[in-house]
Structure 1
């Protein structure tokens, strides 16, 4: 049975799962194992490997053998494991492209109305004469939009100076949403 030694404490295999769960690290481990399985078939060319490892070392200040050795010791990993970490992001990118690359744009366009969010200002009143008077006051800069909204709006926006949002573009009344899509 394998043991893990941390300082003067010895942890058994059975205790590792319990500790991972207790420290809320088990979901992260499961996620990473699933990702590794998904990208297993995506290999990098020798030049891609070299480039991504070199970039990883640069980004993490691991350009000297001493710096690399220090990280390897700190994380108790081999050089091969460190290089696998360096290559993981590019392999994930290859997986994404192979899995969703051609479908992504159409999916985005399909879901765009649920993803676009807007912030807009509104004064809600049932009196057309009041609405027209407020329009002229704001246009003539006699009063600010926020002041008018706070004083005359009949909806929840009265508390925010007329501001609503961020909300998805599909949430406002369709007539308002249509006007707002011009600016999105």
Structure 2
């Protein structure tokens, strides 16, 4: 039976890497070639940010406990199997858990105080809406259809079926609910101005004339889930800025 070593040249980059015979210069070249050097740069920025953080014994114990519960590790055998499946040694695993705890602490301590103002800035994009939308190519047709619906001559949902030309799905043209960062900005602004069940005047988006009816509006709430999301978004913005600064500072 053919083994993996039979298909790998003994002096290939993979063979030299597995045997720790590869040069640092070649490793950097491979990272660049496969587009993963940016991930290494990112992790090095993280290491610098969290190097001074000291964890308590209780924090470390809680981190292991939460990890074991999440991955259903209930014994040394379970842990050994998990390590084998993930190609990790025990020291590597311990480093991963502690590093994750330090990063979580860094995020909270650095960005938690900024969440309220960040949420207020983003709220108009985080609100969600569900709505029905009808699009036609003619402004005069859109105007006529709007007036017909307003006067009760036709049903809006029937018009959507008629003008969708077979493209309406099992939701019968209902969109969302999704955040208002998803639809076109013109449509999103119109949805914010409507009341539940209200039909909009026709509006133009590119070559289409759109009539929309708001089904339901869901204002974003700053609950715990949103707080954690906001912290992650602030952290992501921060790390991208630091990466860009580091790359420019050390460019040759």
Shorter-chain TM-score range: 0.5 to 0.7
Please name the residue that 2:187 is paired with. 172
Match of 1:71 among 83, 89, 99: 83
Do 1:120 and 1:164's aligned partners in 2 also have CA atoms closer than 8 Å?
yes
Do 2:129 and 2:191's aligned partners in 1 also have CA atoms closer than 8 Å?
no
Do 1:171 and 1:177's aligned partners in 2 also have CA atoms closer than 8 Å?
no
Alignment of 1:34-53 (within 5 A): 34-53=45-64
Query: Residue 49 of structure 1: CA displacement?
Result: 0.7
Bigger mean CA deviation after superposition, 129-138 or 63-72: 63-72
Q: CA RMSD in A?
A: 4.0
Do 2:128 and 2:217's aligned partners in 1 also have CA atoms closer than 8 Å?
no
Query: Residue 134 of structure 1: CA displacement?
Result: 3.1
2:78 & 2:190 partners in 1: Cα distance? 65
1:82 & 1:99 partners in 2: Cα distance? 26
TM-score of the superposed pair, with normalisation by structure 2: 0.51
Please name the residue that 1:12 is paired with. 23
Unpaired runs of at least 5, structure 1:
152-158
Unpaired runs of at least 5, structure 2:
1-15, 195-213, 219-252
TM-score of the superposed pair, with normalisation by structure 1: 0.66
Please name the residue that 2:100 is paired with. 89
Structure of greater Rg:
1
Q: How many residues align?
A: 169
Please name the residue that 2:12 is paired with. none
Deviations 1:91-140 (A, max 9, x none): 2221111111021122111122234454532346547664333342217x
Please name the residue that 1:155 is paired with. none
Query: Residue 65 of structure 1: CA displacement?
Result: 6.6
* 1:146 and 2:160 aligned: yes
- SS of the aligned residue for 1:121 comes to strand
* 1:131 and 2:143 aligned: no
